[in-house]
Structure formats: structure tokens, C-alpha cells
């Protein structure tokens, strides 16, 4: 369960909000976006090597 919001830019719409379950489809989308130049201003680690979670 996510403990932080992740809003990729563009498009600027939250993909993950606190309390939401993170699944592999979300991770795949964010990783492919990062490779394409998308910016992640919200998470503590904008490279997404780690994501803050409430629990596994």
C-alpha cells in the first residue's frame, strides 16, 4: 500500500495515491515513462528505485 502520491508529468494526473495498492502494471507504466523522459516530482525517490509504502 502506497504511503506517497506519484504524479507523472506529463500528463500530471496522479497514478498512485496514499493508501492505494501498487501493482506490477503501475510499476511497468511508471518505469517505461521514466525511460521516455517523464518526470516524477512527487515521490521521495524520483528514480523509483524505492517507493514509500505503508505495508507490503
pLDDT of residue 54: 93
Task: Establish whether the linkage from the previous residue to 24 is cis, with ω within 30° of 0.
Answer: no
Is 80 exceeded by the pLDDT of residue 1? yes
Strands of 1-56 (E only): list them.
none
Is 80 exceeded by the pLDDT of residue 56? no
Tell me the pTM: 0.87
CATH of the domain at 39: 3.90.105.10
How confident is the model over 11-42, as pLDDT tens digits? 999 999 999 999 999 999 999 999 999 999 99
Per the structure, the complete domain to which residue 42 belongs is given by 1-56
- pLDDT band per the 50, 70, 90 thresholds, residue 55: confident
In total, how many domains does the chain have? 1
Amino acid at each position: 500500500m502506497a504511503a506517497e502520491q506519484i504524479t507523472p508529468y506529463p500528463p500530471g494526473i496522479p497514478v498512485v495515491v496514499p493508501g492505494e495498492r501498487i501493482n506490477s502494471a503501475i510499476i511497468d507504466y511508471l518505469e517505461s515513462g521514466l525511460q521516455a523522459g517523464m518526470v516524477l516530482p512527487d515521490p521521495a525517490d524520483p528514480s523509483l528505485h524505492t517507493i514509500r509504502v505503508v505495508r507490503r
